[in-house]
Amino acid sequence: MQDIRIAAMIFRSVAGDVCRNLDAMVHWIKISKNEGAHIICFPELNITGYSNLEEIKNAAEPVPGPITQDLSNLSKSQKIVILAGIVEKDEKDHIFSSHLIIKPDGFVGVYRKLHIAPPEQGIFTPGDTIPLFDARGVKFGIQLCYDAHFPELSTHMAIKGADVIFIPHASPRGTPEEKYRSWMRHLTARAFDNGLFVVACNQTGENEKGLCFPGIAVIIGPSGKVIKKNLSNRESLIVVNLKSKDLDSVREHRMRYFLPNRRPELYDLC
């Protein structure tokens, strides 16, 4: 892994108001670029807004599509990798909670949420692949909100070589402090057990469809310790250098890096 500077965004999205959300993204992308970030990560479904109501399907579009093109132009002009969430519609009209990976060289990748939370079932179709992506010498995976509660997913990504897992959320209700305590029950374990960085961020504010999000963003190191946190419910970002030496200090330590000593032949995963 190469050292990399990343920005994690606490972002307010209005459900269904794509133009408003994109305009707000431009402002924060420019700020993160001015702060030296190489990658900016926005929350789940930040472009189209989050909703588990049937009408959110009206905001869906294919990938590639007009939104993808707008973000590609922005990524190229600002020379920054953009990770952002969209309601995606495929050629069979299946609807996905997807996260785009947009790089300045024109690359467009997509991650489709694999684990659909019970309130979302009937709206979103689960994805069926676990892609990893590369940017500036860093290999990373993406999980969306509910995905993070399934530890084998993080282990799979780690085995396949992920240095970082970005976990964008659209997790409503509660206070920032309550959300932080909830995240600390499982996100630190995903980092510690697998010896990698975890970057998590959430939507904030009213989505104008009956949900309110408490914000917060957290960056966790491969030792399972929080590197930086922002417990704000206001739009804001945190910018952090992820350093290869922090990864190496865990992975080169025989008692702190657990993956090489797994015994998968013992596990019944059915």
Per-residue confidence (pLDDT) for residue 249, from 0 to 100: 96
Q: What is this structure's pTM?
A: 0.97
pLDDT at 179: 98
| pLDDT of amino acid 136 | 93
DSSP lists the bridge partners of residue 102 as 82, 108
pLDDT at 267: 87
Q: What's the pLDDT score for residue 268?
A: 76
Which phi and psi angles does 234 have, rounded to 5°?
Answer: -105, 150
Cα separation, 207 vs 85, whole angstroms: 15
Neighbours of 114 (CB within 10 A): 17
Q: What residue type is assigned to position 28 of the chain?
A: W
Amino acid occupying residue 12: R
Distance of alpha carbon 152 from the chain centroid: 17
User: What domains are there in the chain, each with its CATH number?
Assistant: 4-253 (3.60.110.10)
What gap in Å lies between CA 161 and CA 196, rounded to an integer?
Answer: 10
Residue 185 pairs in a beta bridge with none
Q: Which residues of the chain have a pLDDT value below 50?
A: none
Q: Specify the pLDDT at position 21.
A: 97
Give me the helices (H) in 134-223, please: 151-159, 176-184, 187-194
Which residue is associated with the tokens 């979103």?
Answer: 124
| Residue 201, CA atoms < 13 Å, CB-side half-sphere | 28
Q: What is the pLDDT of residues 217-238, one digit of tens each?
A: 999 999 999 999 999 999 999 9
Strand intervals (E) in the chain:
4-10, 39-41, 81-89, 95-102, 108-112, 133-135, 138-142, 164-169, 197-202, 204-206, 212-214, 217-220, 226-230, 236-242
What's the start-to-end Cα distance of the chain, in Å?
33
